[in-house]
Amino acid sequence: MKNIIILLSVLIISGLGLYTYLEFSKTDIELTEDELEVTNELSEVEKILESKLPYQLNVEGREVVFDSESVELVSREFFNERIDVGIILNEDQDPIEYTQKQIISELSQEHIIEQKKSFFNYSVSFYSGDTDNQIIAMVRLINLPDDSVGATEERYDFQLDNTVWSLNWYGDRQFCRRMDNEYWAKPGKLCP
């Protein structure tokens, strides 16, 4: 009898707790505007990527398309590290403009202009980084007129501090091809 009373008491208490929970969950809780954190604003990175991409550039008869996430994002560990300190960009320059300037400079070099008839081309993709103030650019140059290097990739990591962008990390790597052997060169190695 004592066990039955204890069991009934537990069931009643459990039922009241469940009823209270269900009733509370139905109740609409009104919050003031101060309590609501509604953010429809885009981060600085999202603003740049949405307003400037996709974009097409024509340099020395070459079309270069800048877009979002078409070139696979490759981890830093697979690149030869070339820069690991911050290079501050001009105040009015963002990562897309900086990357564009680098490509224009490279395509304007005399030995590149001489190879105009070859079929190499660029692919440039931008990614937002791990935080709201990072942009990563992946630049791939493919179909190179070389018997050992078929392509190159570059990775640029940019960081926004207040209103100024800096290039915090840069690395590159080569895609090697010799007869039937094709592979990405390991960090610290060049194609033979």
**Distance between CA atoms of residues 67 and 47, nearest Å:** 14
CA atoms within 13 A on the CB side of 170: 12
Please state whether the peptide bond connecting residue 145 to the residue before it is cis, i.e. omega within 30 degrees of 0. no
The rounded mean pLDDT for the chain is 76
Residue type, 55: Y
State the average pLDDT over residues 85-93.
84
Radius of gyration (C-alpha) of the chain in whole angstroms: 28
**Distance between CA atoms of residues 126 and 165, nearest Å:** 15
Contact of 136 with 160, CB cutoff 8 Å? no
State the average pLDDT over residues 56-71.
78
Contact of 140 with 152, CB cutoff 8 Å? yes
Helices within 44-179 (DSSP H only)? 44-52, 95-107, 110-114
- pLDDT, one tens digit per residue, over 20-44 is 444 444 445 555 555 444 445 777 7
Task: Give me the pLDDT at residue 116, please.
Answer: 52
CA atoms within 13 A on the CB side of 154: 16
In 3D, which of 49, 46, 130 has the Cα closest to residue 97? 49
Q: What is the pairing mode between strands 87-88 and 121-128? A: unpaired
- pLDDT, one tens digit per residue, over 117-176 is 566 777 889 998 887 789 999 998 888 777 888 889 999 999 998 888 999 999 999 999
